[in-house]
Amino acid sequence: MKKIALFAFSLFFSFNLPAQAAQPVSVVELFTSQGCSSCPPADAFLGKLSMRPDVLALAYHVDYWDYIGWKDPYAKSEFTQRQRDYAHHFNLRYVYTPQMVVAGRYQDSGTQQKNILNALEKDLSRPHPITLHFTLSGLSIDGVTQDDALNIFLVSYHKEQTTQVRRGENRGRNLTNYNIVQSLQKLGIWSGGPATFPLKNHTSPAQGQGIFLQHPESLEIIAALRLD
């Protein structure tokens, strides 16, 4: 991957407040299912990570566990495909739950908390010369890149939901899930220089949104911002 030089992200509001530099944010993605008996500890771990201001924690519920008796109400086939794309990137022979991916650079089981935390700290300690501006008119990005184009994603999620599971491996349990991804929308492609993308913040106390820039081939997440 060619080196990408970007200016640092800063988050500011449009009511005449001065721009404020946003701290680096690392994206942690959990691939999980309510039909998987080994997933609840990883779900709880993601809940703890979601409380950190330097982490955009996302739970993608996959659908390949639905056949054993419990259909996960949050599972989507496109999330399973996203996990398959990561499996190909990491040269894995299969997909599994609970899997955590840190910044598109590192993967491990969501039960390996120490390994995930080490990967997270490593990602946060790397240079983050990135800047993003969020105003009432939308998302503004400025910077310089060398030929590489980055996909810009807007992710929306439920912050917390509890479900009574009636069948499957977790039958009889009340499962609490965190930062459950509802949608992952591609806003466009950014290849350097000033650019603005129309965007409205629809966060609420129960819902959150985030933005991240991801390389289409290496799948590395170059930068991220929480909007909640």
Percentage of the chain lying above the pLDDT 90 cut: 66
* Cα–Cα nearest to 196, from 112, 132, 103: 132
Q: Which domains does the chain carry?
A: 5-226 (3.40.30.10)
Q: Report which of residues 3 and 141 the model is more confident about.
A: 141
Q: pLDDT tens digits, residue range 155-212? A: 999 999 999 999 999 999 999 999 999 999 999 998 877 778 888 777 778 999 999 9
pTM over 0.85: yes
The yes-or-no verdict on residue 70 having pLDDT over 50 is yes
CB burial class (10 A; 0-12, 13-18, 19+) of residue 214?
Answer: buried
Q: Report which of residues 225 and 31 the model is more confident about.
A: 31
**Of 6-20, 78-92, 121-135, 192-206, the least confident:** 6-20
Which pLDDT belongs to residue 192? 75
- Segment 122-145 shows an average pLDDT of 76
Which pLDDT belongs to residue 155? 96
- Segment 150-155 shows an average pLDDT of 94
- The beta-strand segments (E) located in the chain are 5-6, 10-11, 20-21, 26-32, 55-61, 99-102, 106-109, 132-135, 138-141, 143-144, 150-164, 174-190, 195-197, 207-214, 221-226
Which pLDDT belongs to residue 129? 62
Which pLDDT belongs to residue 193? 73
Instruction: Please give the mean pLDDT across all residues of the chain.
Output: 86
Q: pLDDT tens digits, residue range 10-40? A: 333 232 333 334 567 999 999 999 999 999 9
Cα first-last separation, the chain: 31
